[in-house]
Amino acid sequence: MEVKFHNTKNKKLTKLNTLISKKLQLLNMSYPYVVKADIFYDSHVSYKGIKKSCEIKLKTSGPEFSVNCFENNYHKAVENTLKVLEFQVHNALQFATA
């Protein structure tokens, strides 16, 4: 699977990139139809302060998945994005085989 990171100018994101790569490789072992992953980092200003976001777009041989979570820091955003993404991919596989 091809993994591409976007908006990674922050050096603190290197550890998160490693975490994401490992999780996506594990996901790819369970679901080999995943072809490509694009990861985007961003920060947004809201009335509650600055929110960090992590968006992961998965391209598969079938449907495409896109998950974006906003949190107070990048680490929480990455963790939540990965959880939701794994849930979506797992459910899509269950639905397809039912």
Domain boundaries along the sequence of the chain: 2-97
Question: What is the pLDDT at residue 96?
Answer: 63
Question: What is the pLDDT at residue 32?
Answer: 83
Contact 39, 20 (CB under 8 A): yes
Reported as a single tens digit per residue, the pLDDT across 5-63 is 987 777 778 888 999 999 999 988 988 888 999 999 998 887 878 899 999 999 988 88
User: Can you give the pTM of this predicted structure?
Assistant: 0.86
Phi, psi dihedral angles at 8 (to 5 degrees) = -110, 45
Question: What is the pLDDT at residue 84?
Answer: 95
Q: Output the six-digit token pair for 65.
A: 């998945």
Domain 2-97 has CATH 3.30.160.100: yes
Question: What is the pLDDT at residue 15?
Answer: 86
